[in-house]
Structure 1
Amino acid sequence: MLLTLHHLPMTTACTLLWLTAAWLSSSQTKPGPSAPAAFEPTALPAKAARTAAFVPTGWLLERQVSGDLNGDKRADPVLVLIERPSTTAPEARRERAVVVLLADAAGQLQRVAASGRVLYGSGGPDPLISADKMPEIKVENGMLVVRHLSGTEQNLEFTHRFAYDTGSKKMRLASEEQIKSNRQTLDTTIRSSDYLAGKQRTERVYRDPADPDGRRQLTSRKDATLPKAPKRYLEDVDVRKITADSGIK
């Protein structure tokens, strides 16, 4: 026979109702054990003597590159962080973050940039197709260079270059290059924006529609002047928004 609350004593029924409500409330308000650790740049120290101080709880140092970013001939560390793997779902998506530091003469490291949006994560929907499934990041010619390559039917490659801005003491977005290509049609569009010079160039390589064999390719080029706009910094770049806006598949 199926028992309902009507078949139970009043005190027992009330107790069961109270326990059920408490369980539902706790399950809705408390995160599970595998909840991701949000990256909070403001929680990082402004200055410290060791790079380990800039790795927050719940994160690991995945990679470190160095180079002179402010022209003082000192090696400035750039940290690539990744979330610690979940004990219950080790293959689940893990976010990445980047922290840019400047080394001074006293041996201290000053944080000048930090963001959890400028790099693709590991696992999940991020369609990285690089050999090590990781964005390319390096210091080249005094700039921080971040490059992503992703896509399936279409390829999207975008490269951001950041330069240290002495006025704001932050990493300014100096230039951006986006290359979209279709593997089937071989149609490729390259858009290069130089924010320091205020110039933009768009180039396109595509098949000649008049060629029945589809072997001949045509090219077009357009130069433009960028409208004046406020400076953008490393924290303003959101790679997932860029990918979504590109419309690649």
Structure 2
Amino acid sequence: MREKGVAPILLRGRAALLSLALFFLSSISAENIPGLDPAFPPKLIPETHSILRAASGDLNGDGMADQILVIANNKEQKSGDINESWRELRIYLRQKGKNAWKPVLENERAVLCRNCGGMMGDPLGDLRIENGTFLIQHSGGSRWRWAYTHRFRWQQGGWALIGETSESYDAMNSESRVKDHNLITGKYHLDTEKDGKKTRKVGYEKKGLKFLRNFDIYKEMEE
């Protein structure tokens, strides 16, 4: 005969252990995200979303480490439809006080979708803060590979696009093209290689400043 009350107690015990295990797993997964400040409060991220990339560093010169995130709705991981797979770039500035973070920018067009890299897979590369600027990298393609690096800096009341590097090359031979453009001065270097011949062109192409709040990576790639 089974002792009355033992089974429910065991089930409750197992449930408690499972909950505890899930708690530790979620804590470990959050702490193991490279670039995520351990003090960043998870409540600022919707429960329906996951963090794909994180970068921590001083963005506004106040000596405190700010936070940049790329987040995606969990449905994005299952969808191949560009209209259902937006990834969102968010910027949080650290405020004085315990765990005080101010969300200052959200952009759903700054990061390419999971399937936008072609046969190379997810195009999202590095997200990094350095010397008061931050950069976002993408790459993809098939035989003809491509890569983009966009660099932003706070100026004139917004995060301005100050630099752009576009690269493309044929994976089957030495043909390649690399353009590094300083969007503040307008100066660019264009390096090409074809049939073993390397050339470099230096020129000036001044454009009006673009700001992250209206930045659209999809349109940038079409230009």
Fold conserved between structures, TM > 0.5: yes
Is the 8 Å Cα contact of residues 117 and 235 (structure 1) preserved in structure 2? Answer: no
Partner Cα separation in structure 2 for residue 149 and residue 117 of structure 1:
16
Supply the AA of the counterpart residue of 2:109: R
**Correspondence for 2:90:** 99
Residue 51 (structure 1) shift: 4.8
1:62 aligns with 2:62: no
1:111 aligns with 2:89: no
1:218 aligns with 2:189: no
Partner Cα separation in structure 1 for residue 148 and residue 88 of structure 2:
17
Residue 75 (structure 1) shift: 0.6
Is the 8 Å Cα contact of residues 128 and 149 (structure 1) preserved in structure 2? Answer: no
Partner Cα separation in structure 1 for residue 64 and residue 136 of structure 2:
21
Partner Cα separation in structure 1 for residue 190 and residue 94 of structure 2:
38
Alignment RMSD (CA, Å): 2.6
* Number of aligned residues: 180
For the pair shown, the structure with the greater C-alpha radius of gyration is 1
What are the Cα deviations for residues 83-112 of structure 1, in whole angstroms up to 9, with x where unaligned?
Answer: 1227xxx63233211101221224532333
Match of 2:168 among 173, 180, 183: 180
Supply the AA of the counterpart residue of 1:129: M
Partner Cα separation in structure 2 for residue 77 and residue 178 of structure 1:
26
Q: Higher strand share goes to which structure?
A: 2
Distance 1:200 1:112, change over 3 A: farther
Helix, strand or coil for the counterpart of 1:235?
A: helix
More displaced, 184-193 or 147-156? 184-193
Residue 176 (structure 1) shift: 0.3
Is the 8 Å Cα contact of residues 119 and 135 (structure 1) preserved in structure 2? Answer: no
Structure 2: unaligned runs, 5 residues or longer: 1-38
Partner Cα separation in structure 2 for residue 96 and residue 52 of structure 1:
18
Distance 1:235 1:135, change over 3 A: farther
Supply the AA of the counterpart residue of 2:214: D
**Correspondence for 2:63:** 73
Partner Cα separation in structure 2 for residue 117 and residue 226 of structure 1:
25
Identity of aligned residues (%): 21
Helix, strand or coil for the counterpart of 2:118?
A: coil
Could you state the TM-score of these two structures normalised by the residue count of structure 2?
Answer: 0.70
What are the Cα deviations for residues 163-204 of structure 1, in whole angstroms up to 9, with x where unaligned?
Answer: 112x31x21111000001112232111111111222122111
Could you state the TM-score of these two structures normalised by the residue count of structure 1?
Answer: 0.63
Q: Higher helix share goes to which structure?
A: 2
**Correspondence for 2:131:** 141
Structure 1: unaligned runs, 5 residues or longer: 1-48, 208-216
1:206 aligns with 2:206: no
Distance 1:200 1:125, change over 3 A: closer
Residue 76 (structure 1) shift: 0.4
**Correspondence for 1:37:** none
Partner Cα separation in structure 2 for residue 70 and residue 190 of structure 1:
30
**Correspondence for 1:84:** 74
Match of 1:193 among 169, 181, 198: 181
Partner Cα separation in structure 2 for residue 224 and residue 133 of structure 1:
29
Helix, strand or coil for the counterpart of 1:85?
A: helix
**Correspondence for 1:12:** none
Helix, strand or coil for the counterpart of 2:120?
A: coil
**Correspondence for 1:17:** none
